[in-house]
Structure 1
Amino acid sequence: MNFRVQPTAQVDASATVGAGSTVWDLAQIREDARLGTGCIVGRGAYVGPGVRIGDRVKLQNHALVYEPAVLGDGVFVGPAAVLTNDHFPRSVDVTGRLKRGGDWEAVAVVVEEGASLGARSVCVAPVRVGRWALVAAGAVVTRDVADFALVAGVPARRIGWVGRAGVRLVERAGAPGVWECPETGALYDERDGALTEQP
């Protein structure tokens, strides 16, 4: 075994955990879930059946990732963040019968490479969080988030842009639509509500 699982964690025998990954106390990884290499699954975190998680992903304590979520490489999921999977949640059907797995259609939250979800944020499926985007703590994401977008609030709205370093970008003086990372100096172009990296 080339990964580490604490004794109180539950990892289903059909799940795949990549080399160098760590699963901490009381975490649960369900059937057929796949975690990439170098991941960290925090205390009490939950990974649902069939969830796909890339390499170097961090799920902080008590993060809940429900199936059929897909997380790209380098994604960060903050403490107690929730990725939902039911667009119309009900415990019972219209006749009052308790719903089971086959009685509803699970929908996915997709979090692209490098994106971060702040503490206690909620992503209401179906929704996509773009590459290197940053969802603020406590935000409720109800619609897709653009690459590099900084979103906050309930419901979440774009309040700025961030670069790969996660630092808020600053628009260059005299160059409308050109954004710069104050930490790395990387430049980005904004056009039609989308941000792209300059080569």
Structure 2
Amino acid sequence: MNFYVHPTAIVDENCQIGDGTKIWHFCHIMSGAVIGNNCNLGQNVVVSPKVILGNNVRVQNNVSIYEGVICEDDVFLGPSMVLTNVINPRSAVSRKHEYKTTLIKKGASIGANATIVCGNTINEYAFIGAGAVVIKDVPAYALIVGNPG
């Protein structure tokens, strides 16, 4: 085991966690999650089943990464940013069969409290500013701010 897990974190069976990765206080890594090498997951991060995080991904505090999210290498997810996985969520209706894939490509950065609506691609080295709401694909190297971004 060449990665660090804080004693308060929960790592379910059947996860893949790469060398040099650090998982901090009160995180939950669910069965089927894949986390690359040299990642850093801050406090209170949830990584759901079937999520893929590449190498050198940084996830700041209070981020939930839901099924359907793929982050390539060198991605930064800022504090308390939000990723969704269903376009039309309802309390009493199961929508698991409607999960959408969100792809965050190499080197992209997402600022604090930004929201990424599911089914979109954030292309290489794009920068999503703090508090922005992304409702469509983002081109490579773009700067997105505001609501909607």
Same fold (TM over 0.5): yes
1:27 maps onto 2:20 in alignment? no
Answer yes or no: is 1:125 the counterpart of 2:128. Answer: no
Structure 2 residue aligned with 1:139: 132
CA deviation profile, 1:20-69 (whole Å, cap 9, x unmatched) = 00000001111100000000011001111110010000000011111110
**TM-score, normalised by the number of residues in structure 2:** 0.97
Number of the residue aligned with 2:73: 73
Residues 67-88 of structure 1: CA distance to partner in whole angstroms, max 9, x if unpaired? 1100000000000011110011
Report the CA distance between 1:100 and its aligned residue: 7.1
What stretches of structure 1 move > 4 A for 4+ residues in a row?
none
Percent of residue pairs identical: 39
CA contact (8 A) 2:59 2:78 kept: yes
Q: Distance in 2 between matches of 1:49 and 1:105?
A: 15
Number of equivalent positions: 149
- The 5 Å alignment of 1:43-82 reads 43-82=43-82
Q: Distance in 2 between matches of 1:11 and 1:84?
A: 22
- The alignment's TM-score, normalised by the length of structure 1, stands at 0.73
1:86 correspondence with 2:79: no
Query: What letter matches 2:102 in structure 1?
Result: V
Counterpart of 2:144 in structure 1 is 151
Distance in 2, Cα, partners of 1:15 & 1:122: 26
Contact 2:86 2:95 in 1 (8 A): no
RMSD: 1.0
| Greater relative contact order, per chain length (Cα 8 Å cut-off, separation 6+) | 2
State the distance in 2 between where 1:107 and 1:6 align.
31
Gaps of 5+ in 2: none
Q: Distance in 1 between matches of 2:59 and 2:69?
A: 13
Give distance in 2, aligned partners of 1:64 and 1:132: 21
Partner of 1:162: none
- Structure 1, unaligned stretches of length 5 or more? 94-98, 157-199
Whichever residue aligns with residue 77 of structure 2, its letter is V
Q: Deviations over 1:114-170 (max 9, x none)?
A: 0000001010011100000000000010000000000001100xxxxxxxxxxxxxx
